[in-house]
Amino acid sequence: MARHIIVSAALLLLASVLSAANASQTLTLAPGQASPKASIGQLSWLAGHWRGEALGGIVEEHWAPPSAGSMVGSFKLIVKDKVKFYEIEIIREVADSLVLQLKHFHHDLKGWEEKQQTVDFALVKIDANAAYFDGFTIRKISDNEIHMFVVLGREPELKEVIFKYQRVLPG
């Protein structure tokens, strides 16, 4: 009996460790919850050229340094030496907080969203090494590595995808 309890306890501990390892890396803004105060300067570590692998190909992002209350970035997915799609991205100061906005484009620069529409992610939480937008997290791992976690798909089949980027150094 004691052996059964020990094995059961060990399995329960393993399950909780695995569950924590697979815990969501994104947050959601609760209904009525306001975004926290933040400024674009808090994300200056994001500036630069980043490359990694995700979505079955090579992913690349370029982020300009903060200026005029915003940062602008571009994203490109390359699969089998062909561009699958692009994104234009901005993080900007709005109402004493931050919002991440983007637009998608096919390989021929024809837009996915309607002309006046953007995909918007409100800020949920920010700290020295991470910005948690609603369904989209940007985390600084080191000066030369960042991870982005994005919730993709449609209800009820949402999934969190990780993008692991390394800084592309000049030269």
Strand partners, 133: 123, 136
Q: Give pLDDT, residue 37.
A: 98
pLDDT (0 to 100) of residue 17: 33
3-state secondary structure (DSSP) of residue 37: coil
What residue ranges define each of the domains in the chain, with the CATH number in brackets? Answer: 26-167 (2.40.128)
Q: Give per-residue burial for 8-37: e unless 16+ CB within 10 Å, then b.
A: eeeeeeeeeeeeeeeeebbbebeeeeebee
- Torsion sign over Cα 81, 76, 87, 64: negative
What is the predicted pLDDT for the residue at 1?
A: 45
Tokens coding 76: 């490109």
Under 8 Å between Cβ of 73 and 64: yes
Q: pTM (2 decimals)?
A: 0.84
pLDDT along the chain (171 residues), means of 10: 38 33 78 95 98 96 98 98 98 98 97 95 97 97 97 86 94 73
